[in-house]
């Protein structure tokens, strides 16, 4: 009887030892895989989403310029840099002959770099049942993950609220503001994934502290510049502005050819344009090298023709142009009940359909 009990006890002990326990995960929130940000370009846009109504210097919905950027990961900083030359052909023609690639327009602190792996016995190398943030086995630049302090943008972009800086005389400085993810708050950081499980949109909300500058007027002394505007019902006190920083991954497969417009063509048919200065070694920025890009809708599914291997064909013949696919316009206009049917609109759409493939 004793032998049977001993045998049962040993069997139960072996069974308990063979049961796999779930891993203990000690990885803290807000771990970010570096591969999400590296080797890719993004669109960057800042938008005011909250501001005091009595403030004269901004309003909800005001936006900065859309920038194409790249992320640069340093040991202590995550730097958002322009992915293009602000003045075409000027870099690296700095004062000393070289400049950094793209101006820094946003910057966040990096709290730590780490790998996510199981802890192990340093003597035997045997892995344990605890998943940890490993910050010692590899140099910081080889570690796969990092934790970014999204609470404060260390750069207040001068292209943002530029008219308020010029005409209202304000100064802006960043303040710390962060909402922990998972609370359902609209200001918490968002990392949105597409159908391929790739992060294609990042949403970070920060705050700026805006205050008026001061000017010295003889006979009056030093006064805030906002007193000179003349809007008595508006507030001249410093204010807090909430800004959404939106990052959208650039689709590398997007095929679009910008339309460069010239001054003489502008006289015949005007467009709203986006301008970009150009640089020459002999004279610096000159008018002849200024780029004017037409702000237009993208009608074409493909702006360039490609061969069977996907390589670009350098020249399009007349017959090839007919085979370009284009995004058909939906010119059906929703009219009110009292207005006549838009027969002319349908006629225009039909003519456009036949004319564009021959363009």
Residue 263 within any structural domain of the chain: no
End-to-end CA, the chain: 98
User: Residue 323's pLDDT is what?
Assistant: 44
Q: What percent of the chain has pLDDT over 90?
A: 30
Q: Which pair of tokens denotes residue 109?
A: 């602190």
- The neighbouring-strand residues paired with 244 are 47, 205
Residue-range definition of the domain harbouring residue 187: 24-249
Residue 233 within any structural domain of the chain: yes
Residue 297 within any structural domain of the chain: no
pLDDT digits (tens, 9 = 90+) for 152-198: 999 876 566 655 555 455 677 788 999 988 888 999 999 999 988 99
Q: Which of 8-12, 165-169, 203-207, 238-242 has the lowest mean pLDDT?
A: 165-169
Nearest to 214 by CA among 235, 236, 240: 236
DSSP 166: I
Quick one: three-class SS letters along 78-114? EEEEECCCCCECCCCCCCCCCCCCCCEEEEEEEEEEE
Q: What share of the chain is helix, strand, coil (3-state, %, to 5)?
A: 15, 35, 50
Q: What is the mean pLDDT of residues 125-137?
A: 91
User: Residue 313's pLDDT is what?
Assistant: 76
Residue 77 within any structural domain of the chain: yes
Q: Which helix (H) or strand (E) holds 131?
A: strand 127-134
Contact between 105 and 82 under an 8 Å Cβ cutoff? The reply is yes
Residue 111 within any structural domain of the chain: yes
DSSP 140: G
Q: Could you give the angle at the alpha carbon of 111 between the alpha carbons of 108 and 114, nearest 5°?
A: 125
User: Residue 340's pLDDT is what?
Assistant: 46
User: Residue 44's pLDDT is what?
Assistant: 95
User: Residue 299's pLDDT is what?
Assistant: 79
3-state secondary structure of 183: coil
Q: Which residues contact 129 (CB under 8 A, 6 or more apart)?
A: 21, 23, 24, 118
User: Residue 335's pLDDT is what?
Assistant: 41
Q: Which of 7-16, 19-28, 237-246, 264-273 has the lowest mean pLDDT?
A: 7-16
Q: Which of 77-91, 131-145, 308-322, 342-356 has the lowest mean pLDDT?
A: 342-356
Answer positive or negative: Cα dihedral of 48, 296, 294, 307: positive
Q: What is the C-alpha separation between 290 and 263, in angstroms, rounded?
A: 10
User: For the chain, how many structural domains are there in total?
Assistant: 1
Q: What is the mean pLDDT of residues 79-106?
A: 74
Q: Which helix (H) or strand (E) holds 43?
A: strand 42-50
Residue 179 within any structural domain of the chain: yes
96 vs 32, more confident: 32
285-287-288-292 Cα dihedral, nearest 10 degrees: 100
- The neighbouring-strand residues paired with 131 are 25, 118
Q: Which pair of tokens denotes residue 320?
A: 């090839």
- CA dist list (Å): 197 to 69, 191, 200: 22, 11, 9
Residue written as tokens 């032998």? 3
Rg (CA), the chain: 30
168 vs 237, more confident: 237
pLDDT digits (tens, 9 = 90+) for 301-339: 777 778 888 787 765 444 444 444 444 444 444 444 444
Residue 50 within any structural domain of the chain: yes
Contact between 200 and 249 under an 8 Å Cβ cutoff? The reply is yes
DSSP 305: -
Across all residues in the chain, what is the average pLDDT? 78
User: Residue 17's pLDDT is what?
Assistant: 54
Q: Which of 46-60, 191-205, 206-220, 292-306 has the lowest mean pLDDT?
A: 206-220
DSSP 228: G
- The neighbouring-strand residues paired with 48 are 243
* Beta pairing, strands 104-120 & 67-73: unpaired
> Is 11's pLDDT higher than 60?
no
> Is 209's pLDDT higher than 90?
no
213 band by pLDDT with thresholds 50, 70 and 90: confident
Residue 281 within any structural domain of the chain: no
């Amino acid at each position: 009887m004793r032998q049977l009990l001993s045998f049962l006890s040993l069997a139960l002990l072996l069974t308990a030892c063979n049961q796999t326990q779930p891993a203990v995960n000690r990885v803290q929130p807000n771990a970010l895989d570096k591969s999400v940000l590296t080797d890719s370009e993004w669109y960057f846009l800042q938008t005011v989403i909250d501001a005091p109504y009595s403030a004269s210097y901004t309003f909800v919905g005001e936006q900065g310029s859309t920038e194409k950027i790249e992320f640069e990961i340093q040991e202590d900083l995550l730097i958002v840099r322009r992915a293009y030359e602000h003045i075409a052909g000027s870099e690296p023609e700095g004062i000393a002959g070289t400049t950094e690639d793209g101006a820094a327009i946003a910057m966040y602190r990096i709290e730590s770099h780490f790998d996510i792996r199981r802890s192990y016995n340093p003597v035997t190398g045997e892995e344990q049942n605890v998943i940890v943030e490993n910050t010692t086995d590899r140099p910081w630049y080889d570690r796969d993950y990092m934790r970014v302090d999204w609470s404060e943008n260390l750069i207040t972009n001068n292209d943002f609220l530029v008219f308020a800086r010029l005409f209202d005389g304000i100064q802006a400085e960043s303040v710390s503001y962060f909402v922990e993810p998972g609370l359902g708050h609209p200001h918490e950081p968002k990392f949105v994934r597409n159908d391929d499980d790739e992060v294609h949109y990042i949403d970070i909300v920060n705050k700026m502290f805006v205050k008026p500058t001061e000017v010295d007027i003889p006979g009056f002394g030093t006064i805030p510049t906002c007193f000179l505007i003349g809007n008595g019902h508006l507030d001249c006190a410093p204010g807090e502005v909430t800004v959404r920083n939106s990052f959208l991954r650039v689709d590398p497969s997007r095929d679009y050819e910008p339309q460069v417009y010239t001054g003489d063509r502008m006289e015949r048919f005007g467009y709203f344009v986006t301008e970009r200065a150009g640089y020459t070694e002999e004279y610096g920025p000159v008018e002849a090298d200024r780029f004017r890009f037409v702000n237009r809708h993208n009608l074409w599914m493909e702006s360039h023709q490609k061969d069977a291997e996907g390589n670009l064909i350098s020249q399009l013949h007349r017959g090839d142009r007919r085979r370009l696919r284009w995004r058909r316009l939906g010119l059906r206009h929703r009219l009110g009940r009292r207005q006549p049917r838009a027969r002319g609109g349908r006629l225009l759409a039909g003519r456009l359909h036949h004319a564009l493939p021959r363009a």
